[in-house]
Structure formats: C-alpha cells, structure tokens
Amino acid sequence: MGKYKIIDDVAIADVAFEIYGKNVNGLFENAALAIFEQSADIRTIEGKKRESIALESDSLDTLLFDFLSELLYLKDAKQLLGKKSAVSITQSNKKYSLKAEIAGDTIDQRKHTLKSDIKAVTYHMFKVEKTKEGWAAFVVVDI
C-alpha cells in the first residue's frame, strides 16, 4: 500500500487522489503529502518553517476537507509551502479533534521547484472510509 496515487481521467481539468493510511493519522498525513507534492517538488523544501493547525468537526470526512483546505489557506495567507505534517486526531463526545504540525518553507520562486497553485479541495466524489488494510480517502482538488 503506497501513500497515495493520482487517479487519471476522473476529473480531467483537476487532479484526483486516492489516499491510503494504516490509521486515521497516517491517512491525513498522506493526504497532506498529496497536496504538498502537487504544489511543489518537496525535495526543494527544507522544512524549517512551522505552522500549527487545530480543528474540530463532527465527522472524519469534513475534518479531512477542513484540514486540506487549511493547508491551501496557509499557502496563500502565510506563504507556507508544506513538506510534511504530523497529525494527531482524537475523538470524544461524537466530536473529532485534530492537531497538526506542518513543516515547510516560505515560498521562494527562485529556490523551490513549484508546480500547481491548487485553488480548492472539492466535494466531488469526496470520501473517507475504513478498509481491510486501514483507511482510504478520495479527494479531487481544483487546479
């Protein structure tokens, strides 16, 4: 089981990802990686800049939608080009809470090999599910 793969020809003008994780935290981290690798060649990112994310939601799929949308927000508002993330999700009283640490760089067009400026995470075919091997998600981003 890889971390994620790009599913061709689902959304021809956009990019569709199938994302995998042994557990929920891993699923979210791999989903973040899909976003990071769509935005830039992460080998050109040092990872010295840190940002924290704290979110709450009443379902795992809206939590993933909000988490990935937050990464796009940080890209524009804080100029954060992400390299990796550490995610911790807890559940209590039917609420899911997420805490994440994102490591990346301030965007520098001379230093980084940039790819796509992702516009948004879409709800088209959006899915988070438990599988035999662990967890999987389907995410289409608007390019």
Q: Which residues, listed in sequence order, are joined to residue 1 by a DSSP beta bridge? A: none
Q: How far is the CB of 22 from another protein (least distance, A)?
A: 26
For residue 19, give the 3-state DSSP assignment: strand
Instruction: Pick the stretch among 19-27, 42-50, 114-122, 128-136 that binds another protein (CB under 8 A).
Output: 114-122
110 belongs to the binding site for another protein (CB under 8 A): no
Among 52, 92, 93, 109, binds another protein (CB under 8 A): 109
Q: Which of residues 67-96 bind another protein (CB under 8 A)?
A: 69, 72-73, 75-77, 79, 81
Of 9-17, 25-33, 44-52, 87-95, the window that binds another protein (rule: CB under 8 A) is 9-17
Min dist CB 38 to another protein, Å, is: 10
Q: Compute the distance between CA of residue 93 and CA of residue 57 in angstroms, rounded to an integer.
A: 11
The answer to whether 61 and 55 are in contact (CB under 8 A) is no
Alpha carbon distance 35, 38 (integer Å): 5
Phi-psi region of 37 (alpha: psi -120 to 50; beta: other; left: phi over 0): alpha
**By CB under 8 A, is residue 116 in contact with another protein?**
yes
Binder of another protein out of 24, 33, 35, 39 (CB under 8 A): 39
User: Using the rule CB under 8 A, is 122 a contact of another protein?
Assistant: yes
The alpha-helical segments, DSSP class H, found in 8-59 are: 24-39
